[in-house]
Structure 1
Amino acid sequence: MTEISADSISGHFSDYLKPVFSESEQHKKHSFGIRHQVYCEELHFEPENIQKVETDDFDDHAYHCLIQHKSSGQYAGTVRLITSENDDQKLPIELYCQNAIQRPELFPNNFDRNDICEISRLAVPLEFRRRKMDNFDGAALGVINKEIYSETELRCFPFIAVGLYLSATAILLSKNIHHCYVMVEPRLARSMRFVGLPFEQIGPVIDYHGKRAPFYIQPQSVEDNLKPDFKALLNNITAEVTPQI
């Protein structure tokens, strides 16, 4: 990632990108469409369908975030936060990857159901990155296609994935959720730690939609760990997302 000033990172993001808390059916459809493009058509993690939307039962108890490209109106990425109100609303990591967690004190069932969540289905559509990418989920840190977007815009687009995680963080803080889980490829986690997002690996890499490992995040510690430039970006995103919530 290119080193630019805090004002430049936050300013560039605000100039070209907008976080959207996508609770309307229209916004959710955009999220589900991006997920179908990435997870079904491109990565083939899930089967394609004629509706061109990728959904599952977890969406019924999840918050959905989008990043919108302002000038075109297109959506540059999506992510969801799966919540749990009771024992019937298990997180994916509980249902499919509990054995991968090697820190028993951090098992999700140790905490109140309304105090846990899982970030998943982060996806950046193909038109917002290059054709040849690192092969981790959703090509999350992709670079914008230089044939379509200006050099000025390109300066902030490597931060789309960061912007999605910070949008999720803003929602978690507003909902006062203290324990967050995510299954991601370790290279993506290292990229997030580079900017100061405290991804703590709590188990080995397993084969789960590709090579992934379980990670734990305490949302309340994010702001303290972020580098100053990305802390400014979090403040900016929080100011935009909070009124939408």
Structure 2
Amino acid sequence: MSLYDQFHQQFEFVLATSEADKRYVYHLRYQVYTSEFGHVMPGEPERQLEYDEFDRSALHCFIRHRATQEPVACIRVIYPGSGHGLRELPIESNSRGEFCHAELNPDLLPRDLTCEVSRAAILGRYRKRQSMPDPVAENEGPIYPRTDNDYKVASLLGVSVYLASTVMIGLMERRHALALMEPRLARLLGRFGLVFLRVGNIQQFNGVRAAYYIDQHQAEGALKPELQSFYRDIVGSLSAQFGEPVHRGVQSRSAVAEYAGS
């Protein structure tokens, strides 16, 4: 069984449509950004929740370990014109004056086809092997990940959240996606065929980052052959969860359904 098959066997993709699911996302982001990295973030730190005003105009997804039901990774796609009065994406203020591409500038992209991918987070225990076992977890019994193979499977979480965002962008009938990310992450995703083009200068924003752009239509076609089946499974999972209750004003894109059936 391939690592991709093992991943789908051990993890599931969930659209966070309910308030309870969104709290899972906000708590996961708090665990990563504040508890692990020490960043000062908005939200309710006293309740261990990280969120901001853009979450009301975003579609959220998290990845859950099937056996333990633990949310382990998440990502969001923010879209303007979503009925909440959002006109400016956060990247437009966070990278103001830093865009350096003559054409791929948020001011020049069609607003109803543009979105931003952000708040990708993966629990540290899944990003790197722990040197010593967690004593609490030891008392509660076996936890995941433990074995070398567990960590090999979990290593797909990084690309998986961005593949999920690619599906979400299509479901929302968007095409032009912006992201403020580390250059090394952009290089890593490029190895899988998710080629983000740098459209901004290197800047300091919770680390070294730059503005990047990706065309969702081209991204689907450029995926590495070994990822095609893996991606179709994500399409099938998220498409089945996407509907009118997910987000008012968001419609399903037929091309995504066609891709799932291809």
Greater C-alpha radius of gyration: 2
The partner residue of 1:233 within 217, 220, 230 is: 230
Match of 1:118 in 2: 116
1:57-105 C-alpha deviation (Å, 9 max, x unpaired): 1101011110111111101101111110077431111112031110131
- Secondary structure, in 3 states, of the residue corresponding to 1:110? coil
Partner of 2:66: 70
**Quick one: which amino acid aligns to residue 119 of structure 1?**
V
Partner of 1:18, secondary structure, is: strand
Cross-structure match for 2:35:
41
Aligned equivalents of 2:200 and 2:111: distance in 1? 21
Q: Please say if residues 9 and 229 of structure 1, whose CA atoms lie closer than 8 Å, have aligned partners that are also in contact.
A: no
Query: Kindly tell me: are residues 21 and 199 of structure 1, through their superposed partners in 2, closer, same or farther at Cα, counting changes over 3 Å?
Result: same
Other-structure match for 2:220: 223
Identity %: 28
Match of 2:155, SS?
helix
- State the one-letter code of the partner of 1:57: E
TM-score, normalization by structure 1: 0.86
Q: How does 1:136-215 map to 2 (within 5 A)?
A: 148-215=145-212
Deviations 1:186-213 (A, max 9, x none): 1111000011101111122100111001
Q: Which runs of 5+ in 2 are unaligned?
A: 131-142, 243-262
> What SS class does the counterpart of residue 114 from structure 1 fall into?
helix
Q: Report Cα offsets for 1:148-187 as digits up to 9, x if no partner.
A: 4344433321110111111111111122211000111111
Q: Which amino acid aligns with 1:19?
A: F
| C-alpha distance 105-70 of structure 1, shift in aligned 2 (>3 A) | same
Distance 1:13 1:222 in 2: 21
Calculate the aligned-residue CA RMSD, in Å: 2.2
TM-score, length-scaled by structure 2: 0.81
Amino acid in the other structure paired with 1:177? R
> Number of residue pairs matched?
228
Q: Find the counterpart in structure 2 of residue 137 from structure 1.
A: none
Q: Are the aligned partners of 1:66 and 1:76 in contact in 2 as well (CA < 8 Å)? A: yes
- Structure-2 change in CA distance of 1:231 and 1:98 (3 Å): farther
* Contact 1:16–1:153 (CA under 8 A) maintained in structure 2: no
* CA distance, structure 2, for counterparts of residue 232 and residue 212 of structure 1: 31
Contact 1:40-1:46 within 8 A present in 2 as well: yes
CA distance in 2: counterparts of 1:37 and 1:90, whole angstroms: 27
